[in-house]
Amino acid sequence: MKQNNIRRNEGFKSLVTEYFKDISKGLRIGLGILIMLGTGALVAVAVTGTMNTFSSGQVLDATAMNTNFNSLKTAIEGIPNQKAMRLIYENDITSATTSVNITGLDGDSDVSYDIVYKIISSSGLPINTLYLLRPNSDATSSNYGFMNISMTNGHSGTASALNNNTQQGFLLSSPGNGTSANSIHFGKAILLAKTGSIRTLTNVCGRYISNTDFTFQQTFGTWTGSGNIVNLQFVSDQSNGIGAGSRIEVWARR
């Protein structure tokens, strides 16, 4: 009889121990979340509610803890409403093409787009091949203006500037003084897309053929076309100039 009582007591003690372990684990997780949010380890989240602090040895108060978790709940539920750059389009080109169309956009809502690209030029392209970005597929050269600064290694070795409005789109990349065939063009452009003023694009890119033959370019462009931007057309001015292995990403402020 005595041994049965001992076994029951030990079993009860084990259950109580496990119970408090679970409570302790939950508190540690909750406090860990508080610490991470408080120190900015997660996405920047504004916690506007009451956040109680506790000292070593202090008895945790259920009301104070519930207040903290309610404040966290409100902050976490508000995360989707905070604007951030989100990947909305990506395309790994598997066969040569002349253009890539990105549709379903709303420039007035998104406000800005980041365009990240790596273009593998097809073989046999002429030296003057250009890669352009056209809002709403607009190819009217008089709607565009740009300033381009470039420096080419293995050719002139000096920087040059060009300012005109003859391109049928925002200039993303050009051959510089080198060639286009079998070259790699890579860069990032930022387009401010909201209507109400002239739309502008800033672009930094490079063209690579070898370690002794490459070009660096920085461009600033303007577009005076009208209407909300609902699509972007990534285009080569030469047929099938965007080769297999190219990649295009579009990030939107959402």
| CA-based torsion, 26, 29, 30, 31: positive or negative | positive
Question: pLDDT, tens digit, for every residue of 81-127?
Answer: 678 899 999 999 999 999 999 999 999 999 999 999 999 987 777 66
* Three-class secondary structure of residue 103 per DSSP: coil
The per-residue DSSP string of 49-88 comes to S------TTPPPPHHHHHHHHHHHHHHHHTGGGS--EEEE
Q: How far is Cα 52 from Cα 63, in angstroms, rounded to an integer? A: 10
| Residue in this structure with the two tokens 């939107």, named with its chain if needed | 252
Distances (CA, A) of 45 to 6, 34, 36, 41: 52, 11, 11, 10
Which region, left, alpha or beta, applies to residue 57 given φ > 0 means left and ψ of -120 to 50 means alpha? left
123-143, pLDDT tens digit by residue? Answer: 777 667 889 999 999 999 999
Residue whose pair of structure tokens reads 């259920």 in the numeric block: 62
Q: Show the low-confidence residues of the chain (pLDDT under 70).
A: 1-45, 78-81, 126-127, 154-165, 175-181
Backbone φ, ψ for residue 122 (5° rounding): -70, 160
Beta bridge partners of 218: 149, 204
Name which of 57, 76, 133 is nearest 99 in CA terms.
133
This prediction has a pTM of: 0.68
